[in-house]
Amino acid sequence: MEKRIQKNESSINRKNKKKNKLKKVVTKNRKGIVFIVLLAVIIYLATVVTQLIKNPTNTFLVEQGKIYQEEIATGYIIREETVVKGKNYKNGMAQVKAEGERVAKGEDIFRYYSKGEDSLMKKIEELDKKIDEAMEKEKNIFSSGDTKVLDNQIAEKIEKCYHESDLQKIKEYKKDINAYITKKAKIAGEQSPNGSYLKKLIDERKKYENSLNTGAEYVKSPSSGVVSYRVDGYEEALTTKEFGKISKNFLEKIDLKTGQIIVANDESGKIINNYECYIATILHSNQAMQAKVGDEVELRLPSGNEVEAEIEYINRQDDSDYVIIFKLDKCVEELISYRKISFDIIWWSHSGKKIPNSAIKYEEKGKNKVAYVIRTRAGYQDKIWIKELKTNGKYTIVADYNSEELENLGYTSEEIKARGTISMYDEILINP
């Protein structure tokens, strides 16, 4: 009996051990399954976060805007310009007309100094001081309406000199002051009695002045235009007469720094046609490849001014580069100081409803590929078909399709009736 009881107890113990072992196995398997599920969730969440970082779902308000197709270029200025030079160029020159000043044909531009001019100028300066002192002593005698006007003009020019930083303008003011003083002295001389000290000084000044003018060589303008003393030696090479000679090899041999201002000289000057000029550049872009003579573009100059220009000449090179020459008739005078510049070519610009390219998706409709955006409004999202009018690397100008266009693309009348349209300030998804 006891043996039977022991045997039953032993059997029960074995069964209990099996149950406990089975429980441990089940528990272990459950933990493994939970671990696998948690790991899968973590991997999924990490993937979603990574995708959001790479392609964040954001929104954009449709706005009225303008897009460009631009290209940065380096260009060489070509002008219609005539260099003028006299015989006495080694003597140095005095400017009659200032840099950038307009002149008519036949006008004096500058003059070369005469021999012994320094000595004559010093004598005239000394006489001017003596004349000024003599007039100051006798100012009550020579006080008239004319001299008072001249005194006011002199004071005005002196005041401008104090507040001016442009050296060329200061030179102009000084020249005006000397002219007013000379005129004032002449008036005083006319009013002075013969044999007076002041009369003798003024007559002596006239004698020196006549000697100065007689010995000087004046250079006249051969045509009307703008005066410049910035002669760089490329006036005959970069000419408007023969564009066919302007090749890539020719331009690359011109040893100039971009944006360098041409230095003024004291031996010669030139007359420039200020109504038009040209810019020659070397390009190899798709836009240059498709360009044609007569095409209109916009150029953004170093000053920031955007001017209309026309393609005047295209010369295709052997290596698929293109020499393109643009003609412009605005802001010509601001380029007088330069021969080589950096500028922007705006091949085209287009205005309208502007949206980022990252908001545009496409769907297949038969043989057609139709663009659309996802508009979000009051928590609802709608697919809006859009017509792409013009695009660059970042933005696109879009418009709505009309019913006939959608029908031609293969949409049913029900789909067309239910369609939405894109409006200003609509909120659309980026990277939907």
Domain layout of the chain by residue ranges:
1-53, 72-81+231-346, 114-215, 353-430
User: How far are the Cα atoms of 109, 278, 281, 283 from residue 299, in angstroms, in the given order?
Assistant: 32, 11, 12, 14
CATH code reported for the domain at 72-81+231-346: 2.40.30
What is the pLDDT, as a whole number, of residue 195?
A: 56
Half-sphere CA count of 381, side-chain side, radius 13 A: 8
**Which DSSP helix (H) or strand (E) runs through 36?**
helix 2-54
pTM summary value = 0.65
Report the DSSP beta bridge partners of residue 58: 430
Ranges of H-type helices in 164-215:
167-191, 197-215
What is the pLDDT, as a whole number, of residue 176?
A: 75
The radius of gyration of the chain from alpha carbons, rounded to an integer in Å, stands at 43
Class of domain 353-430: mainly beta
Report the DSSP beta bridge partners of residue 328: 277, 309
Distance between terminal CA atoms of the chain? 82
Report the DSSP beta bridge partners of residue 296: 310
Per-residue pLDDT of the chain (432 residues; tens, 9 = 90+): 555 555 555 565 665 656 666 565 556 666 667 667 677 767 766 664 555 455 455 899 999 999 999 999 999 999 999 999 999 888 888 888 989 999 999 999 998 887 777 777 788 788 878 877 777 766 655 555 666 777 788 788 888 877 777 766 776 777 777 777 777 766 766 666 655 777 788 788 878 777 766 667 889 999 999 999 999 999 999 999 889 999 999 999 999 999 999 999 989 999 999 999 999 999 999 999 999 999 999 999 999 999 999 999 999 998 889 999 999 999 999 999 999 999 999 999 999 999 999 999 999 988 889 999 999 988 889 999 999 999 988 999 999 999 999 999 999 999 999 899 999 999 999 987
Cβ pair 341, 77 in contact under 8 A: yes
Helix, strand or coil, per DSSP, at residue 422: coil
Helix, strand or coil, per DSSP, at residue 144: coil
Helix, strand or coil, per DSSP, at residue 273: coil
